[in-house]
Amino acid sequence: MNIDNLAKIDLNLLVILQVLLEEQSVTRAASRLHLSQSALSKSLNRLRTTLDDPLFQRTAHGLKPTAHAVQLGLQLPQILQTLHQLTQPPTFIPASSHQHFSFSMVESAYETLLPYFIGRILHDAPNVKLDSYVWTEKSIQDLQLGQIDFGIAGRDTHPQADIKIEQLPDGIEYQTLFKDKQVCLVRKDHPMLDAIKQKKWDRDSYLSMSHVQVRCEGNDWWALDYHLADLNLRRRISTTVPDFYGAASICAHSDLIFTLPSSFARHAVKLYPLEEIPLPFDFMPMAYVLLWHERNSQAPGHLWLRNIICESVAKAVNQTEIEMLK
């Protein structure tokens, strides 16, 4: 490392480059950084001189990064996070902290997991700021780029699942919060309820029905569909919707059947006129996992928050299991 050359670099320019890569617009980047467009353009010119590369090309749709800028964009988040941590105190004091944390969560986690830990976090650290976003197919990339701090997602354990727990992208670490089984919902007075009472509820009966499905992370198929495909079987999916509430509402007002994690089913039957019934064949569980980037593994605030989430969820899940056994 050449310290003399490094001392000539204005580290503020790295922040500007990261924002330009994210926004790909001088106007938006200047607004976000509270700079004039003229000042930002001058900084961009300094960046080009320092890095000996044009970095961006102007197009009708904004700034297009060069190949070198794209490569820098893969490294910058971790570099900036490391620099940020160097300026932070080595300890995290919840009661006085004003740290900002961001989450991306699957929809079902808002109802089934968030209530377990949000109260304790805000009680112990009343001044922290928590931002949450819906989990999408881009959320893993957001974790890698440092645009969010945590993810809470459902991960299928089926071998053909798109993202397996054991094969997460480089730099992503995880902790399993709990495993959940799949159950079914039908409307009250559904004709199939009589068959269930007569013990005629089986896989063939299940496949004879029309299904409502939730599209998760852009995928129309769940692990269950891959499992059935391995057996040369397929569900008749009549309706696909983007969220669990929509699917539950449709199920409550039609003869469609909705297959979903049991944790959300327990919530849905309190809101809609629905009956929970078992999935009529054996199928592997899914896992809810807490995800984060390895760059934050030892950051005191992140470590504190991870511990609260894992402890709170474990306690709540154990309590629920005890109550279900009574």
Tens of pLDDT along 51-95?
Answer: 899 999 999 888 999 999 999 999 998 888 888 777 766 688 999
As to burial, measured by CB atoms within 10 angstroms (0-12 exposed, 13-18 middle, 19+ buried), residue 190 is buried
Write out the residue limits of the CATH 3.40.190.10 domain(s) in the chain: 94-179+287-325, 182-284
The predicted structure's pLDDT at residue 84: 79
What does pLDDT average to over the chain?
A: 88
Write out the residue limits of the CATH 1.10.10.10 domain(s) in the chain: 3-86
Residue 307, pLDDT > 90, answer yes
CATH fit for domain 94-179+287-325, picks 3.40.190.10, 3.60.15.10, 3.40.50.1260, 2.40.50.100: 3.40.190.10
The predicted structure's pLDDT at residue 260: 94
Helix (H) or strand (E) holding 250: helix 244-252
Helix (H) or strand (E) holding 237: strand 236-241
Helix (H) or strand (E) holding 292: strand 286-293
What number does CATH give the domain 3-86? 1.10.10.10
CB 27 within 8 A of CB 34: no
272 torsion bin: left (phi>0), alpha (psi -120 to 50), beta (else):
beta
Residue of 261, 225, 249 whose CA lies nearest to 107: 261
List CB contacts of 262: < 8 A, sequence separation 6 or more: 180, 181, 182, 183, 276
Tens of pLDDT along 7-59?
Answer: 667 888 999 999 999 999 999 999 999 999 999 999 999 999 988 999 999 99
The predicted structure's pLDDT at residue 162: 46
Assessment of whether the complete model's pTM goes beyond 0.85: no
Share of the chain above pLDDT 70, in %: 91
Low-confidence winner among 64-78, 151-165, 191-205, 304-318 (lowest mean pLDDT): 151-165
Low-confidence winner among 48-52, 276-280, 305-309 (lowest mean pLDDT): 48-52
Mean pLDDT of 222-237: 92
The predicted structure's pLDDT at residue 244: 93
Which CATH class name applies to 182-284?
alpha beta
Mean pLDDT of 127-153: 91
Helix (H) or strand (E) holding 306: helix 300-325
Count of alpha carbons within 13 Å of 288, Cβ hemisphere only? 27
The rounded radius of gyration (Å) of the Cα atoms in the chain is 24
As to burial, measured by CB atoms within 10 angstroms (0-12 exposed, 13-18 middle, 19+ buried), residue 135 is buried
